[in-house]
Amino acid sequence: MDARVLLTVLLTVCLAEDTLAVNPGFKTTITSKGLDYIRQVGIPILEQSLSSITIPDISGKAGTPIGSISYSLSSIKLSGLTIPTSTLTSVPGKGILVQASSISMTANANWHYRENSWPHVSDSGSCDVSVSSVSLTMSVLVGADSKGHATLSTTGCSLSIEKLDIHFHGGASWLYNLFASSIAGGLKGSIQQQVCAAATEAINKQGNAALESLPIVVKVDKTSEINFALLTTPTFSTTYVETDHKGEFFLIAKPVECPYTPAPLPPVTESGNMMYVWLTEYLADSAGFVYQQAGILNYNVTADMVPKSLPLQLNTSSFRLIVPALYNKYPNMAMMLGLVTVRPPNLTINSTSADFVLPGNVDVYVVNSTTKQNIPVFTLGINVLADVKVKVAPVGGKEIVSANLTFLKASINLVKSDIGQFSVFVLQTAANLLCTAFVIPTVNQYANAGIPIPIVDGISFVNPSISFGQGYVLVSTDINYKP
């Protein structure tokens, strides 16, 4: 990414592609502290960018002690631009305002003159230009296009030069120095125009090109991707910039809109960190919907998959005292379990914890050793409850929010039986073992991998922390930029 657009691109750290949801599934907030960091990082880059501007040649006519002459300044190049004082503020309803003052810069150029009357004497040399007491004001509007991409547009730029001195060298430099103040006016206007033009181009052209190159759909794995579309134009207040995003998982093979609706998020009240990232129950539940669609959470457990260390093995002999009717009808036979999710898993978040519920069925079979036929014997309904721990950490240059589930309990009921009615209470231990050994580890394969937070290349989180709110997980962090 071109360094010249960092100042504005940093403000739009997350992007994506659809606009159906009203409330966001994903939200970011950049505070005044974050804006000030962006200013600290961006101003030196802006200095470097503006220090290499070439000013168009200047020419004119002037009266001198030796008569009327035609003059020109050529190869005018700025250098040594410094911006000691600057501010970057959010303007409610308008966007970002960049203000800089006490700017100084230098320039060098070649000069040439020719007498307008005979004998048309001409001469040339070089000159140094010193510019000081310069102030710059730029206003930038951050919007969103119809696909959810962020857009940038400069709505105003003004450069004011209070002092400009020219000193000529070589040839008849004494002559030029006599009317340097006349030339300074033209040069001042040209510098003002070119600096604003260069800054505007960097934002409008290169800035938008950089934003368009950022993906608004982030692939999570071979099954799913997340849509991080901007739902509306960013919100600007006096203390923060806020972006609302779709924040929804989609099945790559067959994208279908999630049937859930995001709940509203509370107003922004945090300000101690540079940036806040809000991940909602809706984002997690859309993931559950996608993985349930894909059948990821449906699988079979066979006898050879059960660790020998477990007290309960998948054979009817092991169940002899727990479900006597099973052993009596099918003595000494291997068993198989078919785990099927009947509804998408659900995440519930409150201010103190996050709980994961997985509703499903366990179809129990016995295996005919001769025909290898799976014979259904009974089906259990099972609701798995797990505690969720969330963390954020850098992985492969990306900031990843991941989760780890710890089994809490499982409630079971008998859905149907081909061996007669029996109490499921005796199967509670078996259900707990099944969840601990198979269900939770399977879910954790995906939860531990986590989801990437879409941010501009080079940005990393500094001392991020996790907290829970009603319906959301909040990542509070400072940021660091390293090109």
Nearest to 216 by CA among 26, 50, 57: 26
Q: Which of 90-104, 290-304, 380-394, 444-458 has the highest mean pLDDT?
A: 380-394
The confidence band for 5, taking pLDDT boundaries of 50, 70 and 90, is very low
Q: What is the pLDDT of residue 310?
A: 85
Inter-residue contact 411 to 446 (CB < 8 Å): no
Where do we find the tokens 């909040």?
474
**Ramachandran angles phi, psi of 184, nearest 5°:** -60, -35
Q: What's the one-letter identity of residue 193?
A: Q
Q: What is the pLDDT of residue 66?
A: 66
Question: In the 8-state DSSP scheme, what is residue 395?
Answer: E
Q: Which residue has the higher pLDDT, 439 or 169?
A: 439
**Ramachandran angles phi, psi of 294, nearest 5°:** -75, -10
User: Could you tell me the two tokens for 201?
Assistant: 């181009």
Nearest to 241 by CA among 148, 141, 136: 141
Nearest to 347 by CA among 447, 220, 224: 447
User: Could you tell me the two tokens for 288?
Assistant: 């559950």
pLDDT tens per residue, range 70-94:
888 899 888 888 999 999 999 988 8
User: Could you tell me the two tokens for 247?
Assistant: 């924040």
How many Cα atoms are found within 13 Å in the side-chain-facing hemisphere of 355? 12
Report d(CA 344, CA 356) in Å as an integer.
Answer: 11
Of 105-119, 228-242, 347-361, 429-443, the poorest mean pLDDT is in 105-119
**Three-state SS for 24?**
coil
The predicted model scores a pTM of: 0.85
Question: In the 8-state DSSP scheme, what is residue 230?
Answer: B
pLDDT tens per residue, range 254-290:
999 999 999 999 888 888 999 999 999 999 999 999 9
User: Could you tell me the two tokens for 127?
Assistant: 């000159």
User: Could you tell me the two tokens for 53?
Assistant: 């501007």
Nearest to 249 by CA among 239, 240, 259: 259
The sign of the torsion formed by the CA atoms of 194, 196, 200, 203 equals positive
Residue 1 above 60 pLDDT? no
- Taking the alpha carbons at both ends of the chain, their separation in whole angstroms is 9
Q: What is the pLDDT of residue 12?
A: 45
- Largest alpha-carbon pair distance within the chain? 127
Q: What is the pLDDT of residue 64?
A: 67
Neighbours of 127 (CB within 10 A): 22
CA distances from 49 to 99, 198, 228 (A): 16, 9, 31
Report d(CA 282, CA 247) in Å as an integer.
Answer: 8
Q: Which domains does the chain show, CATH number per domain? A: 42-213 (3.15.10.10), 219-481 (3.15.20.10)
Q: What is the pLDDT of residue 202?
A: 78
Average pLDDT, the chain: 88
Residue 175 above 60 pLDDT? yes
Inter-residue contact 278 to 472 (CB < 8 Å): yes
Q: Which residue has the higher pLDDT, 177 or 250?
A: 250
Element (DSSP H or E) covering residue 286: helix 281-294
Q: Could you tell me where the DSSP H helices lie in 206-250? A: 208-213
Q: What is the pLDDT of residue 457?
A: 78
How many Cα atoms are found within 13 Å in the side-chain-facing hemisphere of 261? 3
Q: What is the pLDDT of residue 13?
A: 43
Question: In the 8-state DSSP scheme, what is residue 262?
Answer: P
Q: Which residues contact 175 (CB under 8 A, 6 or more apart)?
A: 64, 65, 66, 69, 113, 123
Question: In the 8-state DSSP scheme, what is residue 425?
Answer: G
Nearest to 162 by CA among 127, 191, 139: 191
